[in-house]
Structure 1
Amino acid sequence: MATSHRTRGYGWFLYPGFIVLVVFFFGMLFWNMGISMLKWPGFGPAKFIGFDNYKNIFTNEDFWYSWLHAFYYVIPFSLIPTLFGLVLAVASYETFIGRWLRKIVPIARTGFFLPQVVPIAVSGVIWLWMLDESNGVINQTLANITGKPVAIDWVGQPNTALIALSLFMIWLQTGFAYVVFLAGLSRLDPSVVEASHLDGANWWQRLRWIIAPSLRPEVFVVLLFLSVGALKVFAPVFYLTFGGPRASTTSPATFAINSFFGGQYVGYGSAVTTMLAVLIGLVVAAVFGIAKLRAKVSDK
Structure 2
Amino acid sequence: MALRGQVAQRQRGYGWFLYPGVAVLVLFFFGMFFWNVGISLLKWPGYGPAKWVGFDNFRIIFENKDFWESWSHAAFYVIPFSLLPTAFGLVLAVATYDAFVGRFGSKLVPVARTGFFLPQIVPIAVSGMIWMWMLDGSGGALNSLLDGLGLGSLTQEWLREPDTALLAVSAFMLWLQTGFAYVVFLAGLSRLDPSILEASQLDGANWTQRLRWITGPSLRPEAFVVLLFLTVGALKVFAPVFYLTGGGPYSSTTSPATFAIDSFFGGASVGIGSALVTTLALIIGGMLGITFLIVRLRARVVKRDA
TM-score over 0.5 for the alignment? yes
* CA 154–6 in structure 1, closer or farther in 2 if over 3 Å, else same: same
- 2 CA distance for matches of 1:177 and 1:216? 13
Q: How does 1:14-33 map to 2 (within 5 A)?
A: 14-33=18-37
Q: For the Cα contact (< 8 Å) 1:32–1:270, is it kept in 2?
A: yes
The alpha-carbon deviation at position 288 of structure 1 amounts to: 2.0
Q: For the Cα contact (< 8 Å) 1:66–1:255, is it kept in 2?
A: yes
Look up the match of 1:59: 63
Instruction: Give the residue type in structure 2 aligned to 1:156.
Output: R
Look up the match of 2:119: 115
Look up the match of 1:38: 42
1:201 aligns with 2:228: no
Look up the match of 2:128: 124
CA displacement, residues 237-296 of structure 1 (integer Å, 9 cap, x when unaligned): 000011000000000000000000001000000000000000000111112222233333
Look up the match of 1:71: 75
- 2 CA distance for matches of 1:196 and 1:292? 34
- 2 CA distance for matches of 1:171 and 1:233? 15
Secondary structure, in 3 states, of the residue corresponding to 2:204?
Answer: coil
Look up the match of 1:289: 293
The alpha-carbon deviation at position 149 of structure 1 amounts to: 6.1
Look up the match of 1:258: 262
Secondary structure, in 3 states, of the residue corresponding to 1:201?
Answer: coil
* CA 138–101 in structure 1, closer or farther in 2 if over 3 Å, else same: farther
1:11 aligns with 2:15: yes
1:86 aligns with 2:85: no
Q: Moved runs in structure 1, 4+ residues, more than 4 A?
A: none
* CA 110–229 in structure 1, closer or farther in 2 if over 3 Å, else same: same
Instruction: Give the residue type in structure 2 aligned to 1:22.
Output: V
- 2 CA distance for matches of 1:272 and 1:264? 14
**Larger deviation, residues 117-126 vs 205-214:** 205-214
- Between Structure 1 and Structure 2, how many residues are aligned? 300
Instruction: Give the residue type in structure 1 aligned to 2:170.
Output: S
The alpha-carbon deviation at position 150 of structure 1 amounts to: 5.4
Instruction: Give the residue type in structure 2 aligned to 1:9.
Output: G
* CA 217–237 in structure 1, closer or farther in 2 if over 3 Å, else same: same
**Larger deviation, residues 116-125 vs 89-98:** 89-98
- 2 CA distance for matches of 1:114 and 1:41? 41
Which runs of no fewer than 5 residues in structure 1 stay unpaired?
A: none
Q: For the Cα contact (< 8 Å) 2:134–2:141, is it kept in 1?
A: yes
The alpha-carbon deviation at position 297 of structure 1 amounts to: 3.3
Look up the match of 1:267: 271
* CA 72–147 in structure 1, closer or farther in 2 if over 3 Å, else same: closer
Look up the match of 1:241: 245
CA displacement, residues 190-231 of structure 1 (integer Å, 9 cap, x when unaligned): 010010000111222211221122111110110000000000
CA displacement, residues 5-59 of structure 1 (integer Å, 9 cap, x when unaligned): 2111100000000001000000000000000000000011110100000011111
Q: For the Cα contact (< 8 Å) 1:82–1:219, is it kept in 2?
A: yes
CA displacement, residues 148-190 of structure 1 (integer Å, 9 cap, x when unaligned): 3654111101000000000000000000000000000000000
- 1 CA distance for matches of 2:296 and 2:91? 27
Q: How does 1:202-241 map to 2 (within 5 A)?
A: 202-241=206-245
**Larger deviation, residues 268-277 vs 140-149:** 140-149
Q: For the Cα contact (< 8 Å) 2:101–2:109, is it kept in 1?
A: no
TM-score (norm 2): 0.95
Look up the match of 1:277: 281
Look up the match of 1:105: 109
Secondary structure, in 3 states, of the residue corresponding to 1:264?
Answer: coil
RMSD: 1.2
- 2 CA distance for matches of 1:97 and 1:122? 33
Secondary structure, in 3 states, of the residue corresponding to 1:97?
Answer: helix
- 1 CA distance for matches of 2:16 and 2:206? 51
Q: For the Cα contact (< 8 Å) 2:146–2:155, is it kept in 1?
A: no
Q: For the Cα contact (< 8 Å) 1:129–1:136, is it kept in 2?
A: yes
- 1 CA distance for matches of 2:153 and 2:282? 49
